[in-house]
């Protein structure tokens, strides 16, 4: 490593990263014959591919979202070969089943992270540092203004708010895959063992997590519960339901939202949020920059998010970097 490498066998395209000798795509945004999928979020895992390689958990998630798939399960640490490229999957710490993909070809090692974070998450395995020549990283929160606080502090905010509002329900917006389950897990770690109520759109995914061995404690459906019984309760819903008619069934809810974007005040206001909780499944600025230092590649490629800033940071630190312009990555999918 450290030698001049050009990885001409990997081509960034607007709709995905193409691995030429394997004739396969990483997280392609349109149907292809061979797809290597890092994790189950809709902007990375799409339906309609002929053949998919992903972790067993990601395949289960894709199965739930798109129906059955002809998927090839790849466990963390396991490898396989495709057109002479040695491929293996390693945990990324983003959501359950999320993986970084390591590719080795003609002596060059390339890692594509998909999305990742570095802090612990009770619902998935932690990020693994893998040395490589070319490191393809995300940059969702790639600006130095993003410093996610300790998760425990944000969970405490949520519990204090619940205590201060015994007559209101606490409605927390959280993405259906990953964030909702992590929030439940973090609440359990903080010693909260009361039932946590769920919007219908989150139920199936939470049940799947439980089937895959993640303990979420006592979770219940809002549907069928009495309005009065929802006072003083914590309720999770997808962000789209926060200001929707659906929330009118709850008694005077406090609107909270768990997302990394909540650190920017006007962003939180745009969503009519009363209680912003800065909890993210993506690396913040210091995690992104620390990861590049830890991995220490000879070149960093930045896929999506604030790529310009992260590339700038690399150049300020005498590291080689370039921005890939991928399309179809949803900014809001945190």
Partner 1 sequence: MQAFSDLLDRLIYTRSRNAKLGLISDFLKSTPDPDRGWILAALTGELDFPNVKASAVRNMAMERVDETLFRLSRDFVGDTAETVALIWPEHSKTSLSEIPSVGQVVDELTAISRSDAPKLLTNFMDLMGANERYALLKLATGGMRVGVSARLAKAAFAQAFEIAVEEIEEVWHALAPPYSELFAWGEGRGDRPNLTGVAFFRPFMLAHPLEDKAVSMTDYAAEWKWDGIRVQIVGTGEDTKLFSRGGDDITQAFPDVAKAFDHDAVLDGELLVRGEFQGGEAASFNALQQRLGRKKVSAKMQAEYPAFVRLYDILFDGQTDLREQSWTNRRQKLEKFAPQLDTERFDISTVLKARDFDHLSEIRDGARDAAIEGVMLKRRDSSYISGRKTGLWYKWKRDPLVADCVMMYAQRGSGKRSSFYSDYTFGCWTEDGELYPVGKAYSGFTDEELKMLDRFVRQNTLNRFGPVREVEKTMVLEVAFDSIHQSKRHKSGLAMRFPRISRIRLDKPAAEADRVQTLANMVT
Binding residues vs partner 1 (CB under 8 A): 143-147, 263-270, 272-276, 306, 308-309, 312-313, 316
Q: Which is nearer to partner 1, 105 or 146 (CB)?
A: 146
Do the Cβ atoms of 75 and 89 come closer than 8 Å?
yes
- Which C-beta is closer to partner 1: that of 89 or that of 313? 313
| Tokens encoding 202 | 């989150």
Which pairs from 244-252 meet CB under 8 Å and 24+ separation?
Answer: 246/199, 247/171, 249/222, 250/169, 250/171, 250/222, 251/167, 251/168, 251/169, 251/227, 252/167, 252/168, 252/169
Q: Tell me which residue of 25, 65, 252, 266 sits closest to 175, measured CA to CA.
A: 65
Min separation Cβ 200 and partner 1, Å: 26
CB nearer partner 1, residue 72 or residue 240 = 240
Contact 324, 159 (CB under 8 A): no
Q: Minimum CB separation from partner 1 for residue 273, in Å?
A: 6
Minimum Å distance from CB 328 to partner 1? 12
Nearest to 70 by CA among 98, 88, 49: 49
Q: Shortest gap between Cβ of 309 and partner 1 (angstroms)?
A: 5
Supply the minimum distance, in Å, between the C-beta of residue 320 and partner 1.
Answer: 17
Of 14, 31, 49, 11, nearest to 328 by C-alpha is 14
Nearer to partner 1, 122 or 144 (CB): 144
Nearer of residues 50 and 332 to partner 1, judged by Cβ: 332
- DSSP secondary structure string for all residues of 179-244: HHHHHHHHHHHTT--S-EEE-HHHHHHHHHHHHTT----SEEESTTS-TGGGTT-EEEE-GGGTTS
Is the CB of 166 or the CB of 213 nearer to partner 1?
A: 166
The single-letter DSSP state of residue 176 is T
**CB 205 → partner 1: shortest distance, Å?**
27
CA 7 vs. chain centroid, Å, equals 27
* Shortest Å, Cβ 149 to partner 1: 9
Q: How many CB atoms lie within 10 A of CB 21?
A: 14
Identify which of residues 218 and 308 has a Cβ nearer to partner 1 in the complex: 308
Nearer to partner 1, 131 or 252 (CB): 252
The count of other CB atoms within 10 Å of the CB of residue 125 is 18
3-state secondary structure of 39: coil
State the minimum distance, in angstroms, from the CB of residue 316 to partner 1.
6
């Amino acid at each position: 490593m450290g030698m001049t490498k050009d990885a001409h066998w990997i081509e960034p395209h607007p709709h995905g990263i193409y691995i030429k000798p394997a004739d396969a795509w990483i997280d392609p945004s349109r149907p292809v014959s061979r797809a290597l999928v890092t994790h189950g979020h809709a902007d990375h895992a799409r339906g309609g591919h002929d053949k998919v390689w992903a972790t067993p958990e990601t395949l289960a998630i894709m199965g739930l979202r798109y129906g059955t798939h002809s998927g090839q399960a790849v466990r963390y640490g396991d490898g396989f070969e495709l057109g002479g490229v040695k491929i293996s999957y390693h945990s990324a710490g983003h959501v359950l089943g999320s993986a970084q993909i390591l590719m080795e070809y003609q002596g060059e090692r390339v890692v594509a992270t998909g999305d990742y974070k570095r802090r612990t998450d009770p619902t998935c395995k932690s990020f693994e540092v893998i040395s490589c020549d070319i490191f393809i990283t995300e940059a969702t929160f790639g600006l130095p203004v993003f410093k996610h606080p300790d998760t425990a502090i944000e969970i405490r905010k949520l519990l204090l708010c619940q205590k201060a509002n015994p007559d209101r329900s606490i409605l927390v917006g959280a993405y259906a895959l990953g964030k909702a389950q992590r929030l439940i897990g973090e609440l359990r770690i903080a010693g909260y063992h009361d039932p946590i109520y769920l919007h219908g759109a989150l139920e199936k995914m939470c049940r799947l997590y439980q089937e895959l061995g993640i303990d979420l404690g006592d979770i219940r459906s809002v549907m069928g519960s009495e309005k009065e019984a929802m006072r003083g309760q914590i309720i999770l819903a997808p962000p789209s339901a926060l200001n929707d008619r659906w929330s009118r069934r709850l008694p005077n809810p406090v609107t909270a939202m768990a997302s990394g974007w909540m650190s920017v005040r006007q962003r939180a206001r745009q969503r009519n949020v009363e209680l912003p909780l800065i909890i993210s499944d993506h690396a913040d600025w210091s995690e992104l920059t620390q990861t590049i230092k830890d991995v220490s590649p000879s070149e960093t490629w930045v896929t999506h998010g604030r790529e310009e800033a992260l590339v700038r940071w690399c150049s300020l630190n005498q590291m080689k970097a370039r921005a890939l312009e991928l399309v179809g990555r949803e900014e809001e999918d945190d």
